[in-house]
Structure 1
């Protein structure tokens, strides 16, 4: 049976090409609100192909990119092969393999919903320095967009798993409980991508719940083409996101 670590093994190329990065404003806001600078050590947990590591790496932070999936981790290693401040780590949220009290910030994007929260909380306490920070981030599709509502309907109609894997089901109570007894901070930013038809299909293929082939896959691709034709302008459609950033600062 496929486990959570293996879900993206056959989706790496689509993930690299079609998944959104994060708003350029995100790092600036985190630096302001959490008083960060590039002397801080970042642990990017569930780092995947390195999209979430990018803003930190490019601004000279030292990043330990912790990823359990071999294919995703190797893709990130290839992308960041020329960056000495990017350290690839074969580990998971429950067992990062990092040193005790070794990082200033634990950052995790699009991954928290896969974690064993009890074991992960214990592990995060172990690796985080006193006075450190935890930051959890999601790019959530903007529900005010008719295009995205139709895109969502295609997924709901044909993918049974989508209703409970969908990132729009962010459980803020679970996040608050995970951060407890610390106070939860929140930032929301606008973000977007532009896709041609193949890009829109690739964006759907990059998701863990999308079938890789077969009748359902072909039906989804056909209906996405109909959605694209309904909303395209000059051969492109706009994918809008709300980037939701949850954080806490450890006071103990």
Structure 2
């Protein structure tokens, strides 16, 4: 326990015991990583939503499917989202349709499987590292609480060797220990909010992918039987 009178947050952190300081440092690192992931995932989901809308607008504009496939294949931009689903389905559809002896049902089965695989890959990309935010939200409060318990325990152990204990003697130790809990909550709350928000947005994007997959399958089904 520190006997200093510096009750500022910075002073309490600098004068905290080594274990409590290490816990605070760990929470700070986790918080920085969490915020970096929040900004990164937010950008990824924003891009996915924007590109999905752009592709749907182009797809439903009446453009020829073979022309759209050629444009996407020749484009240097990275394919993602609905573009990947479309290319996977259309290329497999054309490949199977050009083979002799393949029934329309077999063509559609293969096409649907190809789009399902592409769908799973795209959703997996969007879900990447979201579990880290869930872990931060559930674990960091307990890490902060451990630092608080350790700091308070150290303060009271130190008081055991003092004949006359006063509030002024124990207050700095308890205050510095409580900072660990505050840091744990500071790391956990944004992570929980971001995780819930991203999960909701991801579900909407996934529904959009599912709807396109079914609508595109219907178009190809009619084409296969024409």
Give the TM-score category using the shorter length.
under 0.3
Greater RCO structure (CA 8 Å; 6+ sep):
2
* Structure 1 or 2: more strand by fraction: 1
Task: Please identify which structure carries the higher helix content.
Answer: 2
TM-score between both structures, scaled by the size of structure 2: 0.20
